[in-house]
Structure 1
Amino acid sequence: MTGAARTKTRDIARAAVRAELAQVAFELFRREGFDKVTLDDLAAAAGVSRSTFLRYFGTKEDAVLGAFEGQDRRVADALRARPAEEDEWTALRHALDTVIERYRVDPAGSLETTRLVRDTPALCARHLEKQYSWRPALSGALAERAGTDGPTLAQSVRAAAALDCLNVALDHWLASDGRLNLVELLDEAFASLAAG
Structure 2
Amino acid sequence: MTTGEPTPGLRERTRRAVHREIAAAGMALFLEQGFEETAIEQIAEAAGISRRSFFRYFPTKEDVVLGDLIDRGHRVGAALAARPQEEEPWAAVRAALLALRDEGPVDPAAELRIARMMHQAPSLRAAHLEKHLAWQEILVPELARRLRHAHGFDEVIAEHRAAAIVATALTCLDVATETWMRLDGEVPLEGLWDEAVAAVGA
In which range does the TM-score fall when normalised by the shorter chain?
0.7 to 0.9
- 74-83 or 139-148: bigger deviation: 74-83
| d(CA) in 2 for partners of 1:176, 1:9 | 45
Task: State TM-score, norm by structure 1.
Answer: 0.82
Partner of 2:189: 182
Question: More deviation in 101-110 or 138-147?
Answer: 101-110
Q: 1:38 aligned to 2:39?
A: yes
CA distance in 1, matches of 2:108, 2:75: 20
1:149 aligns with 2:155: yes
Measured in 2, the distance between the counterparts of 1:110 and 1:103 equals: 13
Return the offset for 1:163. 0.7
Q: Does 1:91 align with 2:92?
A: yes
TM-fit CA distance, 1:170: 1.5
For residues 112-168 of structure 1, what are the alpha-carbon distances to aligned partners after superposition, in whole Å with 9 as ceiling and x for unaligned?
222211111101211222222222332211211122435442221111001111111
8 Å contact 1:88–1:142 — kept in the other structure?
yes
Aligned residues: 191
TM superposition shift of 1:102: 6.0
> RMSD across aligned C-alpha pairs, in angstroms?
2.5
Provide the residue aligned with 2:52 in structure 1: 51
1:164 matched to 2:171? The reply is yes
Q: Which amino acid aligns with 1:46?
A: A
Partner SS for 2:201: helix
Q: As a proportion of its length, which structure holds more helix?
A: 1
Q: Is this contact kept in 1: 2:144–2:161, CA < 8 A?
A: no
Question: 107-116 vs 161-170, which deviates more?
Answer: 107-116
SS at match of 1:86: coil
Deviations 1:47-68 (A, max 9, x none): 3211111122121111122221
Match of 2:139 in 1: 138
CA contact (8 A) 1:77 1:141 kept: no
Q: State, as a whole percentage, how many aligned pairs show the same letter.
A: 40
Partners of 1:133 and 1:59 lie apart in 2 by 17
User: Deviation of residue 107 (structure 1)?
Assistant: 2.2
